[in-house]
Chains A and B, each alone.
Chain A
Amino acid sequence: MTGTVGGRAEPAPSPSPPPPAAGLRRFARPQRRPAGAAAEERCELCGERVGHDHAHMVDLQRRSIACACRACALLFTRPGGRYRTVPDRVCHDPQAPLTEPEWAELQIPVGIAFFFVNSALGHVIASYPSPAGVTECELDLAAWDRLAATHPLLRAMTPDVEAILVVGGAPGQAAPIETFLVPVDVCYSLAGALRLEWRGFDGGTEVKQILADLLASLRQRARTLESAPG
């Protein structure tokens, strides 16, 4: 046994998928998963394995988001019932963009916020991503209604499963405000990514990059509101 590279092997390897070699160490630090090599995910309704790029359903009872296989996602596209599949359309409305004074009326002091209709409560909820996860903020519902009256995009979202994402609304931002109608899971995955990568006071470069990447992909995916189905 000379000149060999010995890998690690524990005396009693368990049959479970994670490598037993690391012992407790594997729990002690966050495991950075390279993109595309995410852990195996399963449909939370039927247990079927799903790929990296799978659909999500909103569980209206638990107010949570569940991973869905294609078959289950197709089953729950109609309203009514506990689960509702998140659609995948992205819309914007170049005809009626949000202006800074309009945004200021909502009095939301952050640069990224999203809005969705909670059908159980029957009104719009405003939230924003933060290092602590998704944080709900007070929303002046009358101000929202005034804004929605002149911006069809804000009225176009499907309750629970779609959201309005507003980026660049913080005072003093150089770039204009961008507003998209997005699948609600986009907001939660953005919030999750930001929470994971948040460093220091303003989030750091990683966070800025995540946001820039998301905006680039939304701009590419976005259809103008009129041509959007539904």
Chain B
Amino acid sequence: MGPATSDGAGDARDTGLRVEALLAELRARSGPEAADVAEELVTCLVRFYGAALETIMRTIGDDARTKALLVADPLVESLLLVHDLHPLDPDARIRRALGRLGTGAEFLGIDDAGTVHVRLGHGCGSTTAVVEQVIADAAPETTGVSFAPREGPLLQITRRPAGAI
């Protein structure tokens, strides 16, 4: 996952994984009641900091320079993503992340269900797993990735029926 971590979302992701591992350990050792209390505890703290972050971002307002500086820091960017406070919209973030990947993967759009449609490029880093991870890190509010065939006609993005691609 080299490209994914260098993309900057590694810090909140690592913390998230660590928290989940600790909760799982607590659940195994002390039972579901203790784990539920711990869940609430984490929720309480995350929301507390999140509320403050929201105020900070609101205070910054339209100051594009400050926002750009904040987002340039991988730790801060990952935290803003956790709280849906990233100044760029998901489309822009995905385009940027795929661009950094540099394998020519093409962003086709996000549908109503939150699925990201992508056409894979060629070369290193163009496997579905890598692209999925990059997109999950850049736009965690999306729900999954759908890959269009590499060759052939352009995929028409429509409101998909349930279960279809």
Residues of A in contact with B (beta carbons under 8 Å apart): 1-8, 10-12, 14-16, 18, 20, 22-25, 27-29, 39-40, 42, 47
Contacts and interface: CB of A to CB of B under 8 A. Distances in A.
B82 A3 contact: no
B140 A16 contact: no
B66 interface: no
A4 B149 CA distance: 9
Interface string B1-17: 10000000000110111
Contacts of A47: 33
Given A1-B128, A6-B144, A14-B23, 19 more contacts: A2-B150, A4-B128, A6-B128, A6-B132, A6-B145, A12-B17, A12-B21, A14-B21, A18-B20, A20-B17, A23-B15, A23-B20, A24-B15, A24-B19, A25-B140, A27-B39, A28-B46, A28-B50, A28-B84
Contacts of B15: 23-24
Contacts of A14: 20-21, 23-24
B32 A42 contact: yes
Interface residues of B, number: 44
Contacts of A6: 128, 132, 144-147
Contacts of A25: 16, 81-82, 140-141
A2 B148 contact: yes
B146 to A, nearest CB: 5
A40 B36 CA distance: 10
Contacts of B13: 10, 23
